[in-house]
Structure 1
C-alpha cells in the first residue's frame, strides 16, 4: 500500500506542476486545480510515510520522479525543450533513486 501512496503523491505533484504552467499563462481559474494537486500530493506522501516508507526514500522518490516526469510531460504538453543532456540527467535521476532505494535495505 505504501507504494500506491507514493505513486499518488508523484502523480498529484506532477499534475499540479504541469497545470501551474497553464495557470501562470493566463488561465487563473486553474490555480484551484494546482492547489488541490499539491494538497493531494502531501496527503499521499503522508500516507506513504505512515505506512513505513523511510523519509529519505519517500522524499527522494517523490522529488526525483516528479522532476523526471515533469520534464518529460512538459515536453509533450507545453512543447518545451528536451536535449540529450536533459535526457542524460533524467537517467541519472532514475539511477540515483534506485541507489537510494537499494541503500535503504528495508
Structure 2
C-alpha cells in the first residue's frame, strides 16, 4: 500500500469516527436498535481502516491524527447538530488540535 493510500484510509477512518460518535448519541445509550447497529458497523469500519493505515504509517503520528480528526469533527458536528456551544475557548482548543495534526503530518517519521 502506498503512503498516499494509507493517509486516505486514515482520513476516512477519522470521518467514520465522527459518524460513530454521532450514531452513539442517536443510539441513546444503545436503546435504539437501528442507531445502535449502525454505531457498531461504523466502529468496525474505522478500526479496520485505522489498522490498515498503520501497516504503512508511524503509529504515534497516525493515532494522533486520527483522534484529532475525530475530536475536531465531533466538536463541530455537536455544535451544528445539537446546538452545543462553540465559545472562544472551545474554538481555541479546536485550533490547537488542528495545528497539532498539521505539525504531525509535516514532521519526518
Structure with the larger helix share:
1
TM norm structure 1:
0.90
TM norm structure 2:
0.88
Deviations 1:51-104 (A, max 9, x none): x1110111010001110010001111111111111001000001112222233x
Structure 1 gap ranges (5+):
none
The answer on 1:11 being equivalent to 2:41 is: no
Q: How does 1:74-89 map to 2 (within 5 A)?
A: 74-89=78-93
Between Structure 1 and Structure 2, how many residues are aligned? 104
CA contact (8 A) 2:22 2:74 kept: yes
The answer on 1:65 being equivalent to 2:66 is: no
Match of 2:98 in 1: 94
The answer on 1:47 being equivalent to 2:52 is: yes
**Structure 1: 4+ residue segments shifted above 4 A:** none
- How well do the aligned residues superpose, as a CA RMSD in angstroms? 1.5
Structure 2 gap ranges (5+):
none
